[in-house]
Every structure is written in structure tokens, then in C-alpha cells.
Structure 1
Amino acid sequence: MRSTRRILARGRWGAAFLAAVGAACAHPGGAPAPAGEGRGMFRHAVDSLVGLPAFRDAHLGVLVVDPEGGDTIYSHDAGKLFLPASNMKLVTSAVAIARLGLDYRWVTTLAARGPVRDGTVEGDLLVFGRGDPTVSDGMRGDAMRPLRDIADSLYARGIRRVAGRVVLGADVFPGPTIGFGWSWDDLDDPDGAPVDELLFNDGFGVLHVRGADRPGVAPIVVTTPARTYPAVRVLARTVTAADSARLRARPLRAVRDTARGIVVVRGTIAARDTASLAVPFPDPDAAYLAALRQALQDRGISVDGRPVDAAGAVDSLVRIASPPLRDVLPAMLKPSQNQMAEMLLRTLALVETGVGRADSARRVETAQLEAWGAAPDGFVLRDGSGMARYDYLSPETVVHVLDAMRRSPAFDAFYAALPIAGVDGTLRTRMRGTPAEGNVHAKTGSLANTRSLSGYATTRDGRRVIFSVLCNNWTAPSALVLAVEDSIAARIAALRLR
């Protein structure tokens, strides 16, 4: 707990308070909790953590249950509502597993509007997307790979030219492309990238900037994974190394110009220096279609892009299936990928109701949560990722979801997809050196004044316990909140229930 001590020592907390924190947390970041402690000792320890003076002004909910024994091991404000942050992804993924199944695949169809003659699509090439979230560097190693596969399939069918345009076939995800209640200042970050029926590279690209050889010249900017999107206007300038140090107040930054649909690069960079800037795409469909046009042209299929008669017959050319949902889950849950969760939410709505809107998905999720035993007043659902500050879950609801997954035939895949303490995902650096390391499988959650940790821990005597810790609205250092979460998880792993 040394790092937490350093942070607290700079604040308003005194030495006596620090000693109390150290005793209550039992060094969650260092030495393990006492081996084989019983229920009474566990409850006393968690009571001490929940009752820390630092949490006097905080909202903290904790629920720990032994589902096999049907026993509540610990409960504190477990029926109250909390902002869950990315713990919302537990709901999204669990309901998707229940309704879609682990083998669900997204199918993208390419069709010609108008006749195909002598290798030429005489009209537009239509792309009918249904929310495939896997066209990304994270899932495929190179987001262009599945688009090259499409180009290869069209080339194999003899297509060499598209006389019209490459356009969206149908708007199956109508409505807003961002979540209800997302914070405005998140929208310039890849975590806040919008989504639609076509999604390329989780909704963001990377601008690779290299300073020119001499000062006063605009730097060179290259975009990846697609080199043709987004369009970039460079207003940045190259300066000398000395000037770069002097002008630190003018760092490189990428700003979206939503009116023009471009990205503007401003600031300064030293000659021959390099930098990378991640930027969300202003239009998800446009990004996918631009990347596909690039893949077609690279394969030798030209795209004229001229307007054509939109009334021609539509004939299917190629159907491409994504990897299954079982492969998507770890790519979404371990790093806590927001856009995948939003795509999954809209897919759930599209499949179950025929309308790919978040509000349609909420009706599906509500029915499923109540079927799992969650109280109707134990949740408020607004998005799929937990970015919305209008999402609310109680620890009781989270535990119902986790218990439903425990009893599901899909449990092994769900369990493996969660971050593992001290091993991978958002828990890779947490709980190392404690009984929780390699044991706890849990989902984190993090927004301003919100931290969550919910999942499974196996006790020292082999019982799999479900827990949920949700905390909102504190004024203490965030490191203390994480230390308390980790201490609770480590103590569960050290429990003896038999």
C-alpha cells in the first residue's frame, strides 16, 4: 500500500488516519490478506473498510454471496442504485449471450444496384452492415484485413469496376450514434467514438505526425489503419528543438471539424520528431466506406463514384461473416472496449425487435434482468458501455446477472472473457502478490468519481463466490477506492467457508 500512502500523505489525511487505512486494507497491494480467515473476520474487515472516515461523504455498495450455499456473506447498501461505469458491460454481454448465443456472427452483405456486365457494376455497390464490431486492429491485427477479404471475394467473382459509388445499403441502426447522456468532453477521445451499422477500427484512427526536415514547414501526417480517411488539414508547423521546448504550451493536437467532416492538426513539433494522435472518426459509416474503397482500389477494382439511377434491381454479390460472439467477448471485456459494447447493444435490439436502437435494446434487457430475478427498481439502463452518467445498477442487480451467467452453459466463455487479477485486461496490474492474483475474474468500471469491481473469486476452500463493489461520489483519493476494492477481493479469495 506504499503508493496509496504517498498520495494520502500529500492530502489532508493525518497519520492516525493512514494507520487505520493500512490496518483495514491489510496491505492489498503487497502482502496477502490473512490466510484462511473465517466469515466473522471477513465481515469485521469489510466493515472497517466501508466505515473509513474517507468514505463519510461517499456512496458505497457491497454485496458478497455464496451462490452454491444460497448465503449472503456480506451486504452494505446492496439494494441502492449506483453509477456503474463499465460494469454496465456485464449486463450488455450477459443479455447478448442469453439472447444471441455464443456462436452468433455478424453478416455483412455486398450487393449491386443495377446490372453487372463484363466485370462492371453498372450502378452503386451497396454495403448492408448489421453492426459487425470486429473490423478493427484489436480483433484482426489489421482493420483493413476483413475489407481486403471483401475485395478479394469481389475480384474472384470477376468484378473489376464500380461505375457508381460505394454506399450504405440500409440504415439498420437509426437514431443517435453516441450513447444517451455521454459527456461532451468524452467525444474527442476514442473512448467516446460514435458507432453505426458500419464500424471501422472501433471508430477511431491514428494520425502519425513527423516533423519536417527544417523549421517553418508543415509536418507530414499519415493516417492508419486506412490511409485515405479521415481527411486531414495540417495547420501545425515544424520548429527547432529549442523552440519546441519553449513552445510546450502549443502541443500537437487533433481537432475534429464536424461541419466539414475533417480533422485539423494544430500545434508544433520539432524537426524530424514523431508523434501519434488518436482521433475518433466523425462519421462511422463514412469511415468504413472510405476504407473499403481503398481496399477495392488496392485490389484492382476501380470506383468511378459517379451518381447513378437509384431505382435499379439489387442483387447480392458477397456475404462476409464475422468471428463469433465468443471471440468478441474477451476483446470487449478485458480492455473494456466501449464501441464493441454499444454495437452489441444495438445488435441485440436489431435481432430481437427488428429496430437497432438503444431504447429498443433496453426493453429487451429489462425483460431479461427481471427474468433473472433483478428487482424492477434495481436498474436504469441508458447505454451498453457504461459511459452514460444516467446508467444505474444496484449491487444486487449485478450479482443477479453474474449468478445467471454462473448457471448458464456459456459460463466458461463468459468467465474466461473477464479480466483476471494480476494477469490481464484492466486488472493486469492490480492485486498482485495477494490471494486474488490469478484467481479473481472481475469487471472494472471507471468514470469521474465512479469506481466499480464485480465478478467472481474462488475461496481458499474452493467455493466460487460472487461479489459486487460499487462506489460513487467520494472526495478521498481514487487510489484509496481501488485499494479498498482490491482488499475486499483479496479477502474473499482468502476466505474459508466450510
Structure 2
Amino acid sequence: MTVKNYSFGMLFLFLLIFMIGSGATDRNNEAANTIEERNTMTKQIESFIKSEPKLNGAITGISVRSASNGEKLYEHMGDVRLRPASNMKLLTAAAALAVLGENHTFSTEILTTGSIKSGTLTGDLFLKGKGDPTLLPSDFDNFAKKIKESGVNVIKGDIVADDTWYDEVRLSPDLIWSDEHWYYGAQISALTASPDTDFDAGTVIVEVGPRSKGKKPDVTVSPKTNYIEVKNTAITSEPSAEEDLTLKRVHGENTLTIEGTIPAGSAVIKEWMTVWEPTGYAMDLFQQSLKEEGISWTGKVKMNAAPSEAEVLYSHESMPLSEVLVPFMKLSNNTIAEVLVKEMGKVVHGEGSWEKGLEVVETELTKMGMNTGSLMIRDGSGISHATLIPPNEISKLLYAVQSQSWYDSYLHSLPIAGKADRMTGGTLRSRMEDKNIQAKTGTIYGVSTLSGMVETESGEKLIFSIMLNNLLDEEDGPEIEDKIVELIQSQ
């Protein structure tokens, strides 16, 4: 009996040792395979960088991390400060969610300083903006209807715009002059308007359509506004000619010039052009809406702060920040980025400025583990050529945000590669179809960037940041980035 028990015990011990040994071998094999995969990825990416002629003379920064534990798996010049372009929006969005919260809204108020009696408001009417970048022409129509419903037909006083929620600085510090008239260089005001649901606040949509040869093309501006003057010297050319049309806004004015030629029978040219001083633009739309409701006023149209004793007649709330993030990140909306910076400054420091807002951004990024001492942040959108961030810091942020309560809203806002819908695929809608990638793009002169998350062929989730600087043509960037992502994903 003793011998049998001893034999059984020895057998059990041998089996246990064998199982442990097998498990250790499996783990060793798995670790060896992982190391081999990492070495393969490193070799493939390094080989590609060396062999790609479009990267000759350029700076290539890459950082790859595990999404599960943040371990850095690969880097190429990962600690070198590079221009992020719109990858800066990854930082702005994270800070805004942390400071303002997913449910934060922007309000617009209608205030009065007088009394309403027998259809007449004796006193001034104020339109006070608090930064809402999503106000549409239909919202101004609704404001007028609410005023009408409150019993006002005549205003014996002034119509006053109050944009004092933010400071008077309209353009971010490093915006170059040639970007001022395009939608991505719009001026920032606490009272502004967007022409459509892309929410490019402070812009109008200009459409130029050909007529018969020799005639001036048709030009339409929407929304209709008296704030814009159009000088059209363009000519419709013969159908076989090439399009050679130039649209500009005169600096310091709201005069749009249209010059050159457009071929007969060609498609309509459509551009989003900025206005000079968006507060006045919003007020022009508001005046139109008041007139359409049959509301008149005896005073002037002014710009001033509403007095503290003014009473709120109506308050409008925007969609929550979690929804604003979708057009912001998917479409890479620069105006929303800069509004968020000023809003953070206003909420935290009581000053809606770039200086105070960026202080808040850096404070929040430090809390999330970024080494802000290695960054140069000049704006919220990344249009600045002075903003500098290392790829390792971007990948570090993308790892850290996963633990935040608002992460789902953050991730939802990122473009999904290959998804045709603009509010799903965003700036990645025509790239890397069926690759299971969510990432933020970025482009300015000589710069192309892409940072986000990818699922590898083995099912592992990885975080990556690819930053290409000093390119001779930034349009070469996406193809190069897509190839690097493909190499990362193949592991």
C-alpha cells in the first residue's frame, strides 16, 4: 500500500513538473515569437524609411506602443520635437473633455434693458455670444421668433452685439497671411455663425457656376448676407479650356474677388471663405431674421457689453461637447479647436484668450502624464508652424486617455479609415479601407501626420504616431503613412 501510494505520488509529481515545464516552454516560445515580431517590424519600417526617396532630407518621427500596457515597442526619432499639424487636436480634445466635460454646452443669450408693453420694447436688445461655433442661420431665425413670441414688435432702442465672452484677438499667433481668407483660418469670436453643419464658423459658402462663353459666371453666397460684397471679373471660357479661377477676400475687408476663367459646361466651383470680423456677420444674419419676423427698431446696430442688470429674454444651448467633437475631429475643424482653447481659458481663469487657454491645456496634459517641458504649444488646431511635439508624447497621451471616463466620446470622434460617411470616416474616409484603424490626420505646408490606434493581424491593439516633417510635398505624406501603418498592422 505504501509502495503504491509512493508510486502514484511520484507519477503525479512527474506530471506536474512536465506540465510546468511545458507551460514555461510555451511562455518562452510566445515571448520569443513576440520579440521576433517586434524585430521584424523594426527591420521592415527602418528598411522602408531608408528606401523611400520622398523621405530623403525629411524628418521621420514614429512611436508605437502597446495599447494594453503602454510599453514602447518601436520608435524612430521618437523624442524629436516635430510639427504636429492637426494632430495637435488630439491634445486639445483631451484637455477640453477633462476641463469642460462631455456635457458642456455653449450658450447664446437674448437680453433686454427695458420693459415690454403693448408690443414695444423700450430699451436696448442684446445678442450675447458665449462661444458657440455651431450657430446656423436657422438659429437666428429662431431667436427672432422667440423675441416675437415674447410680445416684441418694435424696439425703441439699439440692437447690440456682445462678444466680450472672449478677448478681441481674432487670429491665432502664427497664422500666416495667405490662410486668412480660407475656412481653416477663420477669425475667432464669441459671437459667430456657421453656414452649414460642418460648423466652419466665421465663413460663407461661395459658389461659382459657368454660363455661356464670354459671359461672367454666376456667383452665389450663402447664407445670403449684406455683410459680403462680391467683385466678379471672371469670364466663362470655351468648354475645352482649363479652369483658372482665383477666389480671394481682400485683407481687412469683406470684399470677395473672383478672377480668371471657368470653362462653359464645367462643374460649379464651391469654396468656404472667411469673413472679416465674424461678430458683424452674426449680427447681419440676426437683423435679417428680425426683419423677416416683422420686428423693427429705432436705434442703431452696435457692439458693446450687455450691462449686468440686463435681463435674459431667451437662452439657446448648443449640442453637448461630446457631439461637437465629431465634426471637430472627423473633419479637422480648426475654428472649433481655437474656440475650445479660449473656452477653457474663460472657464478656468476667467479670460477667454489663447494665452490662458493654452495654460489650461498644458496643465491637463501634465496630469495625463505628458512631459509638457518637451512641448511647444502655440495654438489648439496645429496650423501653427511653431507648435512642436515629439511622437513619443502623442503616443503616451493616446495610451493615457484610455483610462478616462470620457474616453468613449474621444475615441468616437476619431476618423475611421475607409468609412465613406463624412461624419464617420472623416479625413480617413478614402484611406486604408477595412484596416480597422482609428486615427487623426494632420497636414500643413511640408508636414503630414497620422496618430491613432490600429488592430494588428494577430488581434493586438497598438497605438502609433507618425510625424513626417520637411517634406517637399505634404501630399506625399498619406501614402507613406499608410505604408508604415500597414507594416505595423502586419505584426
Q: What is the TM-score when the length of structure 1 is the normalising length?
A: 0.81
Distance 1:275 1:487 in 2: 33
Q: CA deviation at 1:159?
A: 2.0
Q: Deviations over 1:361-417 (max 9, x none)?
A: 111111111122212332111111111111111112212221222111111111111
Structure 2 SS opposite 1:319: strand
Superposed, 1:184-263 pairs within 5 Å as 184-201=177-194, 202=200, 203-209=202-208, 221-224=219-222, 226-236=223-233, 241-242=237-238, 251-263=244-256
Partner of 2:39: 40
Contact 1:199-1:288 at 8 Å conserved across structures: yes
Structure 2 SS opposite 1:380: coil
Cα 1:409/1:463, change in 2 over 3 Å: farther
Q: Deviations over 1:101-142 (max 9, x none)?
A: 11101111111133333223333321211111112xxxxxxx
Pick the aligned partner of 1:349 from 345, 348, 354.
345
Partner of 2:19: none
Structure 2 SS opposite 1:318: strand
Superposed, 1:62-461 pairs within 5 Å as 62-135=62-135, 143-201=136-194, 202=200, 203-209=202-208, 221-224=219-222, 226-236=223-233, 241-242=237-238, 251-267=244-260, 275-306=269-300, 314-423=310-419, 424-432=425-433, 437=435, 439-461=436-458
Contact 1:61-1:395 at 8 Å conserved across structures: yes
Cα 1:482/1:214, change in 2 over 3 Å: closer
Structure 1 SS opposite 2:373: coil
Q: CA deviation at 1:459?
A: 2.7
Cα 1:270/1:120, change in 2 over 3 Å: farther
Contact 2:161-2:302 at 8 Å conserved across structures: no
Q: CA deviation at 1:456?
A: 0.9
Contact 2:119-2:154 at 8 Å conserved across structures: yes
Cα 1:261/1:117, change in 2 over 3 Å: farther
Q: Which amino acid aligns with 1:428?
A: R
Contact 2:82-2:388 at 8 Å conserved across structures: yes
Q: Deviations over 1:67-123 (max 9, x none)?
A: 423421101211110000000100111100011111101111111133333223333
Q: Deviations over 1:253-286 (max 9, x none)?
A: 4432345543344445678986544321111111
Q: CA deviation at 1:328?
A: 0.7
Distance 1:45 1:326 in 2: 38
Q: Deviations over 1:22-67 (max 9, x none)?
A: xxxxxxxxxxxxxxx9222212111212333633422111111114
Report the more deviating stretch, 230-239 or 177-186.
Answer: 230-239
Distance 2:299 2:228 in 1: 17
Distance 1:237 1:485 in 2: 39
Q: Which amino acid aligns with 2:87?
A: N
Partner of 1:25: none
Contact 2:229-2:254 at 8 Å conserved across structures: no
Contact 1:262-1:282 at 8 Å conserved across structures: no
Contact 2:82-2:469 at 8 Å conserved across structures: yes
Distance 2:391 2:480 in 1: 16
Cα 1:484/1:105, change in 2 over 3 Å: same
Matched residues, number: 442
Distance 2:123 2:302 in 1: 6
Cα 1:268/1:236, change in 2 over 3 Å: farther
Distance 2:303 2:123 in 1: 7
Contact 1:215-1:271 at 8 Å conserved across structures: no
Distance 2:258 2:299 in 1: 28
Q: Which amino acid aligns with 1:118?
A: S
**Are positions 1:468 and 2:465 aligned together?**
yes
Contact 1:238-1:271 at 8 Å conserved across structures: no
Cα 1:260/1:194, change in 2 over 3 Å: closer
* Percent identity (aligned): 27
Partner of 1:9: none
Cα 1:363/1:158, change in 2 over 3 Å: same
Report the more deviating stretch, 254-263 or 328-337.
Answer: 254-263
Cα 1:195/1:458, change in 2 over 3 Å: same
Structure 2 SS opposite 1:392: coil
Q: CA deviation at 1:308?
A: 9.2
Structure 1 or 2, whichever has the larger Rg, is: 2
Contact 2:159-2:302 at 8 Å conserved across structures: no
Cα 1:277/1:368, change in 2 over 3 Å: closer
Report the more deviating stretch, 114-123 or 289-298.
Answer: 114-123
Distance 1:57 1:211 in 2: 43
Q: Which amino acid aligns with 1:82?
A: L
Q: CA deviation at 1:479?
A: 5.5
Q: What is the TM-score when the length of structure 2 is the normalising length?
A: 0.82
Unmatched 5+ stretches in structure 2: 1-35, 195-199, 420-424
Structure 2 SS opposite 1:393: coil
Structure 2 SS opposite 1:50: helix
Distance 2:353 2:142 in 1: 29
Q: CA deviation at 1:493?
A: 3.0
Cα 1:70/1:257, change in 2 over 3 Å: closer
Distance 1:490 1:255 in 2: 40
Cα 1:213/1:126, change in 2 over 3 Å: farther
Structure 1 SS opposite 2:300: coil
